[in-house]
């Protein structure tokens, strides 16, 4: 079976997916493409077209059968064609379609991929950090380079990413992954290629594992069912694939129920004697895992480890933003306000994808915050996303609010990240995920929308922008309002646990 760049990408997202795609129960796979995944795909295609329309002369090999395109690609490279679009590289079991193949002065070819994302990760202008090469870009380029090498059209291990800002980012695959890891990107590629080959030939098999990447995956229902039926350890909150595999191999613990029988003292003794055992699982981690398993399997009710005092104030705000990370655009700041005069929802919405509209919504939000009685209001939100997004927004629109004001807003004792500061540190719940949806649903809250999700909201927003259909905007606002209300239900629920 052929190995493509997208198979390698899939493996990096989830090592199980490659196997399940070929050998999993096909009738359990969701057939429709997730609308958010489609949106990302369309955006990538659109960006690629935009770049290509400005790139000048090239040989277009994007049409026809794979075999035909492969023959033409080889012919074109033999004839020193300077730039080839969507050429096909086929050799052994590798099939690669780099966006561009560029002839270098020495006659060899370099693959170029056009990406609607940044060419590097962790770029920080403030600290001057140039960031690192992205592993998944590197591995995809490596497949093209490997094919070119095998076909004798490339003698180095270098590719290029043409990124969202028009930068040509060189990917030298002889570079190591980082200062602490001397593995090169090429070695990483070879390892992944080998694993993928084994999986597609059914010479190796691995297990599903519930993780954040599952949400957009067509196998979500199928893998969730498997995890539940087998009582797999990844059904326990925060116990991911790597810890699951270690507990399977080193402790022969395969079910959440069996976690309750773990002798922590004994385990730590074994770890002391043999450093290879229980790697990455410290005493505190295993204590937490055992405590969570107990709440899930025995207590079957939430538990609070310390008394939590929430601020006594006149106004409580439950706050949630909606943003489209694919175009770094914040389109909605939602607040559900509770005070002596009742409850109401306020939205600060950008109804166009323009900096002016985004800035106006952000300005109006801060005007509202400034209108509240100083130190007599509390703000509740769920997870650090709001805080990190607002820090970035401040840099984009520094005339709306100063950096100090944003920092002191989030550092105020009355501004509380319920997930990071309360849920994670002081509570445990008899559910497998501690997402807002899962916890508020456990407490009896119901979203008006049947399939609420942030990813869908982004898709709706893009549809609203395209069509101007007010019923779509209503759906976005209702979803955001319900998220804010769910945050309120959660805060109240935590208070009752005291
Ligand atoms: S649902 Fe999760 S575990 Fe299953 S294939 Fe998809 S990403 Fe992998």
If you count them, how many residues does the chain have?
498
- Confirm or reject: Cβ of 491 under 6 Å from ligand 1: no
Phi, psi angle pair for 177, to nearest 5°: -65, -25
On whether the CB atoms of residues 123 and 130 are closer than 8 A, the answer is yes
On whether the CB atoms of residues 497 and 307 are closer than 8 A, the answer is no
Residues 103, 74 share a domain? yes
The whole-angstrom separation of Cα 75 and Cα 304 is: 69
- Confirm or reject: Cβ of 213 under 6 Å from ligand 1: yes
Residues 327, 268 share a domain? no
**Residue with CA closest to ligand 1 atom 2:** 214
217: in domain = no
CATH assignment of the domain containing 267: 1.10.150
pLDDT of 325: 84
Structural domain count of the chain: 3
Residues 482, 381 share a domain? yes
Residues 154, 56 share a domain? yes
Distance between alpha carbon 491 and the CA centroid of its chain, in Å? 26
307: in domain = no
Residue 228 Cα to ligand 1 midpoint, Å, equals 14
Residues 87, 49 share a domain? yes
224: in domain = no
Atom of ligand 1 nearest to the CA of 17: 5
213: in domain = no
Query: Taking the CB of residue 431, how many other CB atoms lie within 10 A of it?
Result: 16
- Could you say which of 252, 277, 300 is where a domain stops? 300
- Confirm or reject: Cβ of 223 under 6 Å from ligand 1: yes
Residues 191, 252 share a domain? no
- Confirm or reject: Cβ of 16 under 6 Å from ligand 1: yes
Distances (CA, A) of 76 to 69, 79, 82, 148, 153: 10, 5, 9, 13, 11
Q: Which one of 11, 196, 211, 214 would you pick to mutate in the ligand 1 pocket, going by the greatest count of ligand atoms within 8 A of its CB? A: 214
**Residue with CA closest to ligand 1 atom 7:** 214
Residues β-bridged to residue 349: 332
pLDDT in tens, 376-412: 999 999 999 999 999 999 999 999 999 999 999 999 9
**Residue with CA closest to ligand 1 atom 5:** 17
Atom of ligand 1 nearest to the CA of 211: 2
399: in domain = yes
pLDDT of 125: 64
The whole-angstrom separation of Cα 465 and Cα 170 is: 36
CATH assignment of the domain containing 102: 3.90.320
- Confirm or reject: Cβ of 98 under 6 Å from ligand 1: no
Domain region containing 461: 315-497
66: in domain = yes
Residues 71, 150 share a domain? yes
The whole-angstrom separation of Cα 331 and Cα 320 is: 11
Residues 376, 262 share a domain? no
CATH assignment of the domain containing 465: 3.30.420
Residues 267, 350 share a domain? no
* Residues of the chain where predicted confidence (pLDDT) is lower than 70: 124-128
Residues 139, 52 share a domain? yes
459: in domain = yes
On whether the CB atoms of residues 350 and 358 are closer than 8 A, the answer is yes
Residues 82, 53 share a domain? yes
- Confirm or reject: Cβ of 256 under 6 Å from ligand 1: no
pTM, rounded to two decimals? 0.88
Q: Which one of 7, 37, 208 would you pick to mutate in the ligand 1 pocket, going by the greatest count of ligand atoms within 8 A of its CB? A: 208
Distances (CA, A) of 225 to 28, 205, 208, 240, 362: 10, 18, 10, 16, 42
Tell me which residue of 264, 295, 319, 314 sits closest to 427, measured CA to CA: 295
Residues 392, 244 share a domain? no
211: in domain = no
- Confirm or reject: Cβ of 40 under 6 Å from ligand 1: no
Atom of ligand 1 nearest to the CA of 223: 4
Atom of ligand 1 nearest to the CA of 224: 1
């Amino acid at each position: 079976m052929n190995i493509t760049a997208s198979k390698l990408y899939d493996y990096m997202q989830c090592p199980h997916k490659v196997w399940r795609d070929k050998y999993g129960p096909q009738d359990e796979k969701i057939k429709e493409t997730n609308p958010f995944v489609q949106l990302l795909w369309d955006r990538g295609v659109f960006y690629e077209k935009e770049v290509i329309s400005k790139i000048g002369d090239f040989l277009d090999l994007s049409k026809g059968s794979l075999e035909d395109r492969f023959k033409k690609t080889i012919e074109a490279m033999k004839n020193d064609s300077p730039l080839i679009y969507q050429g096909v590289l086929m050799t052994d079991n590798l099939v690669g379609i780099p966006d561009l193949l560029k002839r270098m002065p020495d006659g060899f070819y370099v693959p170029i991929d056009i990406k609607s994302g940044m060419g590097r990760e962790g770029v920080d202008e403030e600290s001057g950090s140039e960031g690192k090469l992205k592993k998944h870009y590197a591995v995809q380029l490596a497949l093209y380079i490997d094919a070119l090498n095998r076909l004798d059209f490339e003698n180095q291990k270098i590719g290029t990413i043409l990124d969202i800002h028009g930068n040509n980012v060189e990917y030298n695959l002889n570079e190591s992954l980082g200062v602490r890891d001397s593995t090169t990107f090429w070695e990483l590629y070879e390892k992944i290629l080998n694993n993928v080959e084994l999986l597609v030939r059914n010479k190796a098999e691995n297990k599903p594992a519930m993780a954040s990447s599952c949400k957009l995956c067509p196998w979500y229902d199928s893998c969730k069912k498997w995890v539940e039926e087998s009582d797999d350890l990844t059904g326990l909150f925060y116990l991911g694939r790597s810890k699951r595999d270690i507990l399977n191999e080193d402790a022969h613990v395969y079910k959440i129920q069996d976690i309750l029988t773990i002798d922590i003292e004994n385990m730590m003794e074994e770890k002391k004697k043999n450093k290879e055992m229980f790697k990455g699982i410290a005493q505190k981690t295993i204590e937490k895992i055992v405590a969570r398993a107990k709440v899930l399997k025995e207590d079957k009710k939430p538990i609070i480890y310390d008394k939590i005092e929430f601020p006594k104030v006149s106004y409580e705000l439950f706050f949630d933003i909606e943003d489209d990370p694919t175009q770094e655009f914040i389109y909605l700041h939602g607040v559900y306000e509770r005070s002596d005069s009742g409850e109401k929802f306020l939205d600060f919405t950008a109804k166009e994808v323009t900096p002016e509209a985004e800035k106006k919504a952000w300005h109006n939000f801060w005007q509202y915050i400034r209108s509240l009685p100083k130190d007599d209001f509390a703000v509740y939100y769920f997870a650090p996303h709001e805080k990190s997004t607002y820090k970035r927004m401040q840099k984009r629109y520094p005339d709306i609010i100063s950096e100090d004001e944003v920092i002191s807003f989030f550092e105020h004792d009355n501004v509380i990240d319920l997930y990071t500061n309360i849920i994670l540190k002081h509570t445990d719940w008899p559910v497998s995920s501690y997402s807002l949806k899962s916890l508020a649903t456990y407490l009896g809250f119901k979203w008006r929308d049947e399939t609420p999700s942030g990813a869908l909201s982004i898709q709706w927003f893009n549809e609203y922008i395209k069509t101007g259909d007010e019923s779509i905007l209503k759906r976005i606002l209702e979803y955001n309002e319900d998220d804010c209300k769910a945050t309120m239900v959660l805060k109240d629920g935590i208070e009752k646990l005291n």
